[in-house]
Amino acid sequence: MKTVLSIGFLFCCSFLLLLLDSSTSLPLCVDSRAPFSLNTTLKFCSYNGSTCCNSIQDAQIQKQFQVMNVSDTACASLLKSILCARCDPFSGQLFTVQSTLRSVPVLCNSAIPANSSQSKASLQDFCSEVWDTCQTASIINSPFSPSLQGQGGKLPSNTNGTTLNELWQSKTDFCNAFGGASNNESICFEGKPVALNNNESQINPPHGLCLEKIGNGSYLNMVAHPDGSNRAFFSSQMGKVWLASIPEEGSGGQLELDESSPFVDLTDQVYFDTQFGMMGMSFHPNFANNGRFFASFNCNKDKWSGCNGICSCNSNVNCDPSKLGTSNGAQPCQYQTVIAEYTANGTASQPSSAESAKPSEVRRIFTMGLPFTSQHGGQILFGPNDGYLYFMMGDGGGTDDPYNFSQNKKSLLGKVMRLDVDNIPSASEISKLGLWGSYSIPKDNPFSEDKDLQPEIWALGLRNPWRCSFDAEKPSYFFCGDVGQDLYEEVDLITKGGNYGWRVYEGPYPVTPTESPGGNTSLKSINPIPPILGYTHSQINKNEGSASITGGYVYRSTTDPCMFGRYLYADLYAGAIWAATEDPENSGNFSTSKIPFSCAHDSPIQCDSVPSSSLPALGYIFSFGQDNNKDIYILASSGVYRVVPPSRCSYTCSQEKAATTPSPSSSPSPSHASHLSNFYGYLFLQLSFLLFLLMCLM
């Protein structure tokens, strides 16, 4: 007897389609890892090249298919393709709806209008094809069971050989539950590996980047105040942190910051030198209520008793500290990297209103001795979706990473780490677990799937990650600039368990180490994720004979509409800035252009010019910053610069409003009317969802 579906249930199934997860991402597997490359074709699922399955998973899918004992050959062929979609590089989107894992991928349904993510010419009504072919076929343990979709429904008593006709009342009901269309925010499965439309024209780069100078100080870090105000924290490499008020764009105001009155002064703990200092700071997402903030810095155990961590070079990673030499005569692990927790509680009635904090540590989160005197990263930031603390660590120094720390899964050097600083274990538990400080390990860190990895590790194979950021609109996009050695500067998209190749590769180039006391990793033994962007040292006009990438942000402000959605990054020495665009959207393929930049004629602080040029003399580009309005800042040796409307530098942007219109703070530009519309649409969906829940409960 066919399952009888109530009107409310039909509505639930239909409405769920409207709530397909709108978060877009590059190709990602179901477990959030990036796809990897196979040297051979999978025996059962026939995927090759980029895939989410290895031979073991391929065999498991084959066994699942065989157990189903599909009674119809044509239906079996379709079902095989559906099961094998788990191996598709886009399986993370295909199998996930509203963060809930599905039993089958979203099946393309032409009844729902498609957009441009997949080729319209090839998009088929695959859902109807599945129904028409399989409606009377017997499938043991059918993946099309309503209960497996989490959509309710009453299963028939005969579950050993069920047909679609027994499980669903009609094709419409079936495709309401399992179908969906391809659009700019999702993709669907049409019976073959997902192929995006790569014929879209590349978006022309903007004419130029307009900057205004709002501060003269030189800072290494900028973090927007978590309370959402126009304030931000700035820190120096020496170890001071200031709380500043940011003037409204176009007001002619300057950064309000009192150099003589820092928010907190950590210079007694921080060891400052060319390669050392305070490298990162991050404020707890709930800082406005709990006052917790964190600093990442280097210390010298000869100068501060609190500099007392374990050496990162030890027998666990096959190196002997006593045999390491350094260029300046310092002893190995004399210098250490530290993450310490501080608090603004007690300095004001509410932490959000605190204007100062005490320099005494609340808790030591992490301490580790460094084998050499360079390449130790040090940035920290909280994940916008998970609330965990991400810590970017370089390979520790030395030409060619001689001890191969970056590829050593037991070493924390050359890694991105992911730590839980909200659940602090006891001292005895820390010792028992062999942790490097006061933190716990998120249960879904990659070690849960790769037992060889140290549990702190989120990604590996990095040389010296210098400035990473999450895209404010697509938090699954985690960008990191990784400093090269002799050939190539790169930008990587960091994913769970991703291996980015160093020291086996420098960007796309294989590396032949000059010495290998720590052993080698063969090219064939890893599946490195290539950089999405980069440049060779020969491609830029270098100062001081060097090149060093400075990672940036995806521009999400309405201030410069022609820059919206582009990833901005720079070279520290060359004074060059690039803007990268993903094309087509959600493909993981990026094109980039070097962007001209100028100083606004009405800049609050006059910009110094490069000799014999009208270009502003930025000096060294240390870092980028982002405020609560998503405006982007450049932190340079010559001062603090903000990206402002292109018209202020006489750059043309067809999407920018005329100068007579209200300022961007009161009215967004025409190009972002769609973003405002999307916001109201999202709000409507939330209200509709509440009504939907009420109807389903009635």
Which has the higher per-residue pLDDT, 330 or 565? 565
What DSSP designation does 683 have?
H
Res 8: pLDDT: 42
Pick the most confident of 62-66, 162-166, 488-492, 649-653. Answer: 488-492
In this prediction, residue 583 carries a pLDDT of 86
What single DSSP character describes residue 341?
E
pLDDT at residue 214, as a whole number: 98
Q: Is the pLDDT of residue 161 over 80?
A: no
pLDDT at 223: 98
pLDDT of amino acid 696: 42
User: How large is the average pLDDT for residues 320-340?
Assistant: 84
The 8-class DSSP code of residue 150 comes to T
Higher pLDDT: 685 or 530? It is 530
Tell me the residue ranges of DSSP E strands in 361-414.
Answer: 363-369, 380-382, 389-393
Task: Report, as an integer, the average pLDDT of 561-582.
Answer: 95
Percent of residues, the chain, with pLDDT higher than 90: 64
**pLDDT tens digits, one per residue of 632-644:** 999 999 999 999 9
Q: Please choose, from the candidates 616, 617, 620, 623, the residue with its C-alpha nearest in 3D space to the C-alpha of residue 637.
A: 620
Q: How many CA atoms lie within 13 A of 588 on its CB side?
A: 20
Q: How far is CA 648 from the centre of its chain?
A: 32
**67 in Cβ contact with 5 (< 8 Å):** no
The domain locations on the chain are 7-180, 209-649, 673-698
Cα 605 from Cα 212, distance rounded (Å)? 8
Q: How far is the C-alpha of 345 from the C-alpha of 171, rounded, in Å? A: 60
Answer with the residue of higher pLDDT: 566 or 678.
566
**Is residue 28 over pLDDT 70?**
yes
For residue 184, what pLDDT is reported? 54
What gap in Å lies between CA 361 and CA 412, rounded to an integer? Answer: 23
Confidence class for position 97, pLDDT limits 50, 70, 90: confident
Give yes or no for a contact between 586 and 575, defined as CB atoms under 8 angstroms apart.
no
Of the candidate ranges 101-115, 556-570, 574-588, 617-631, the one whose mean pLDDT is the lowest: 101-115
What local confidence, expressed as pLDDT, does residue 390 receive?
Answer: 98
What is the Cα Rg of the chain in Å?
Answer: 27
Query: 335-358: buried (b, 16+ CB within 10 Å) or exposed (e) per residue?
Result: bbbbbbbbbbbebeeebbebeebe
Residue 549's nearest CA partner among 470, 621, 501, 461 is 621
Q: Across 17-26, 144-153, 534-543, 554-563, which has the greatest mean pLDDT? A: 554-563
In this prediction, residues 292-305 reach a mean pLDDT of: 96
- Is residue 160 scored above 60 in pLDDT? no
Please provide the average confidence, as pLDDT, over all residues in the chain. Answer: 85
Lowest mean pLDDT among 18-27, 67-76, 495-504: 18-27
CATH of region 209-649: 2.120.10.30
Q: What pLDDT does 341 receive?
A: 98
Band of residue 329 on the pLDDT scale cut at 50, 70, 90: low
Residue 111 has pLDDT above 70, yes or no: no
In the predicted model, what is the mean pLDDT of residues 608-634?
A: 92
pLDDT value of residue 490: 98
Residue 327 pLDDT class (50, 70, 90 cuts): low
**pTM assigned to the model:** 0.75
Q: What gap in Å lies between CA 204 and CA 3, rounded to an integer?
A: 54
Q: Is the pLDDT of residue 154 over 50?
A: no
pLDDT at residue 112 greater than cutoff 80:
no
Instruction: Report the candidate in 247, 250, 214 with the shortest Cα–Cα distance to residue 647.
Output: 250
Average pLDDT over residues 672-688: 39
For residue 317, give both structure tokens: 């990673």
Average pLDDT of the residues in 423-442: 95
pLDDT for 6 equals 40
Look at residue 37 in the predicted model and tell me its pLDDT. Answer: 77
Residue 565's alpha-carbon distances to 26, 466, 471, in angstroms, are: 14, 21, 9
Looking at residue 194, what is its pLDDT? 85
pLDDT of 395 strictly over 60? yes
pLDDT of 80 above 80: yes
Q: Which residue has the tokens 């031979």?
A: 55
Asked whether the predicted pLDDT for residue 18 surpasses 50, the reply is no
Q: Which two tokens stand for residue 8?
A: 């409310």
pLDDT bracket for residue 247 (50, 70, 90): very high
How many of the other CB atoms lie within 10 Å of CB of 49? 12
Q: Is the pLDDT higher at 473 or at 327?
A: 473
Region of poorest pLDDT, from 26-40, 489-503, 546-560: 26-40
Residues sharing a CB contact under 8 Å with residue 76, sequence separation 6 or more, in sequence order: 65, 70, 137
Q: What is the structure's pLDDT at 662?
A: 41
pLDDT band at 113 (very low <50, low <70, confident <90, very high): low
CA distances from 673 to 22, 173, 487, 551, 680 (A): 18, 36, 43, 29, 11
Lowest mean pLDDT across 45-49, 284-288, 289-293, 619-623: 45-49
Please tell me the predicted confidence (pLDDT) of residue 610: 83
* Residues counted in the chain: 698
- 497-510 burial, b at 16+ Cβ within 10 Å, e below that, comes to bbbbbbbbbbbeee
pLDDT at 611: 81
Pull the structure tokens for residue 519. 């052993």
Q: Could you tell me if 298 and 336 are in contact, meaning their C-beta atoms sit under 8 angstroms apart?
A: yes
For residue 203, the model assigns a pLDDT of: 56
pLDDT greater than 90 at residue 328 = no
| pLDDT tens-digit map of 126-143 | 999 999 999 999 999 899
How far apart (Å, rounded) are the C-alpha atoms in residues 491 and 468? 9
Q: Which two tokens stand for residue 535?
A: 């440049």
| pLDDT the model gives residue 41 | 86
Tell me the mean pLDDT in the region 520-546: 85
> Residue 677's pLDDT band (boundaries 50, 70, 90)?
very low
pLDDT at 124: 63
Which of 52-61, 325-334, 373-382, 576-585 bottoms out in mean pLDDT, i.e. has the lowest? 325-334
Residues 137-158, mean pLDDT to the nearest whole number: 67
Q: What is the pairing mode between strands 533-536 and 292-300?
A: unpaired
CA atoms within 13 A on the CB side of 526: 23
